[in-house]
Amino acid sequence: MSEFIESIAQRQTGGTTAKVLIMTSRVQVLQETVRVSDASRRAMDRLAHCHVTVERLPYDIRGRMLFNHVHLAITDPQTRRDLAAWSWWQQVVGHRNYSPRLVELVVQRNRARSAQELIDDLDEALENPYEIWGASFRALPLVDQQLLLTLSVMDSQLVPWQEVIQRLGGIPSSGSHVDATLERLDGSWITKGLHAGSRVLALADPSQRDFLIRYLSVSPGAMTTIIKNTVSVAAPQLGQL
């Protein structure tokens, strides 16, 4: 990744007219690369002027992103005709909370029987963007919530499940409890897999981590529990240095 970023920097500063465009809705991938790689961090500093936030996107580009998601998800002919005939999209792309990721989530999860239902769902999500996961999260048992909150502060991707269980503290974490929790969350909140021979967990969607981190920021009790259950790391002895 750092080599790729560096190649862009060279094209930008080498006097050539060639341009490279990177479009991604998974900015966390880039943030993680910068976090763990000094080379990537230095390269990104040189490309700071190339960073385009959603707020800076032209109005027509926002509209194209919106219609791309709608076009792929909505197949009913009448719903398509209704959406094409109305000017609803202008309010969506002009909203202060407009986000391609949010639009994608709403459209994918929407089971609308009409164009108006889809528009209403988009309006509700834009007014309360973090609540798209709120109702589902609050309906979960305590152990499920604690596991998700713990996972969210452990980078949320490819986390060894034993490490997550260690941090559940006083929450019942016997084999049967853990299996039941993973079964309830699998597919909707988490994905399970194997990495380097170890069983790992990951949040199913980056927006879920956004919600969980915000939940922790406004929930002192939940944050206190996370801190109390943090696994301490023993300081190295002088002979080990």
Which residue blocks in the chain are alpha helix, DSSP H? Answer: 2-13, 27-36, 38-46, 59-73, 77-85, 88-93, 100-109, 115-127, 134-138, 142-152, 161-166, 175-185, 206-217, 220-228
The number of folded domains in the chain is: 3
Contact (Cβ atoms closer than 8 angstroms) between residue 19 and residue 50: no
How does DSSP classify residue 1? Answer: -
For residue 191, tell me if it sits in a domain.
Answer: yes
For residue 237, tell me if it sits in a domain.
Answer: no
Which residues sit opposite 203 in a β-bridge? 190
Under the banding of pLDDT at 50, 70 and 90, the label for residue 205 is confident
- Determine the structural domain holding residue 180 and report its residue range: 135-228
Of 114, 130, 146, which marks where a domain is finished?
130
Each residue of 85-123: pLDDT tens digit? Answer: 888 999 999 998 888 878 888 887 776 678 999 999 899
Contact (Cβ atoms closer than 8 angstroms) between residue 169 and residue 229: yes
Q: Which pLDDT score is estimated for 88?
A: 92
Pair 188, 201 in one domain: yes
- Nearest residue to 83 via CA among 61, 60, 112: 112
For residue 240, tell me if it sits in a domain.
Answer: no
Pair 67, 145 in one domain: no
Which residues sit opposite 202 in a β-bridge? 191
- pLDDT of residue 238 exceeding 80, the answer is no
Average pLDDT, rounded, for the chain: 76
Pair 85, 161 in one domain: no
Q: How far is CA 125 from CA 54, 101, 178, 227, in A?
A: 17, 11, 32, 31
Under the banding of pLDDT at 50, 70 and 90, the label for residue 158 is confident
**CATH code (residue 209):** 1.10.10
Q: Which pLDDT score is estimated for 2?
A: 57
For residue 233, tell me if it sits in a domain.
Answer: no
pTM for this model (two decimals): 0.57
Buried b (16+ CB within 10 A) or exposed e, 144-158: bbbbbbbbbbeebbe
Q: How far is CA 103 from CA 65, 108, 118, in A?
A: 9, 8, 11
Pair 115, 143 in one domain: no
- pLDDT of residue 234 exceeding 60, the answer is no
Contact (Cβ atoms closer than 8 angstroms) between residue 101 and residue 206: yes
